[in-house]
Structure 1
Amino acid sequence: MAMLHIVNKSPFERNALKSCLAHALSGDAVLLIEDAVIGVVSGSTLVTELQQAMNGNAVKLYALSPDLAARGVKAERVLEGIQLVDYAGFVDLTVANEKTQSWL
């Protein structure tokens, strides 16, 4: 039973993303929105944790591209393996997963 985890808080201000990654299971998807998107920038302190989630835990990571643009982050600065989605992609993720969990 796949779950979509949605994180909206900056990983540099709150631990929601780290908690989410610790609980996400293989086959789950994690979508970063709002201020959480800054955590996917290449070279951030979260690179190792994000790569472990994608490789070791087989979690799919996504970032909302309009939120990256709103924060001045260009797509080429996003860590390899993170898939960018628009609002329609956000809707597709909610439909594709049986459950949704928001991390506050």
Structure 2
Amino acid sequence: MLHIINQSPMNSTTLDSCLNTANGGDILLIEDAVYAATRGSATEAKLRSAMGRFKIHVLMPDLEARGLGDRLMDGATPVDYSGFVELTVSNKTSQSWL
């Protein structure tokens, strides 16, 4: 399953809800959720510990739009818009976490 998260971990518990509820799959961080996957962020360690159950993907155009393109944490996979499409095609189901 593809789990799509778009809310900042600083303003929302959406990422925590996903990590605590879902059994695994791919997580795609888009829009303000990309802050979670930056080196030195408050959520970096949480994402690292979840990497055994989830593969973490980050939409790079959103990270770059926030001036953080050079701060992607190790282990997270950068994707562009075609990569976003590929993730939706390769996963049988997807869940947008609100």
User: What TM-score do you get using the length of structure 2 for normalisation?
Assistant: 0.95
State the identity %: 49
When the two structures are aligned, how many residues end up with a matched partner? 98
Alignment match, 1:6: 4
Matches of 2:21 and 2:75, distance apart in 1: 20
CA RMSD in angstroms, aligned pairs only: 0.9
Q: CA deviation at 1:24?
A: 2.6
Alignment match, 1:48: 45
User: What TM-score do you get using the length of structure 1 for normalisation?
Assistant: 0.90
Q: Which runs of 5+ in 2 are unaligned?
A: none
Question: What amino acid maps onto 2:4 in structure 1?
Answer: I
Find runs of 4+ consecutive structure 1 residues off by over 6 angstroms: none
Secondary structure of the corresponding residue to residue 98 of structure 1: coil
Structure 1 residue corresponding to 2:55, chosen from 50, 56, 60:
60
Structure 1 residue corresponding to 2:66, chosen from 68, 71, 74:
71
| Residue deviations 1:44-74 (CA, integer Å, cap 9, x gap) | 111221011103x2x1000100001111112
Question: What amino acid maps onto 2:46 in structure 1?
Answer: E
Alignment match, 1:23: 21
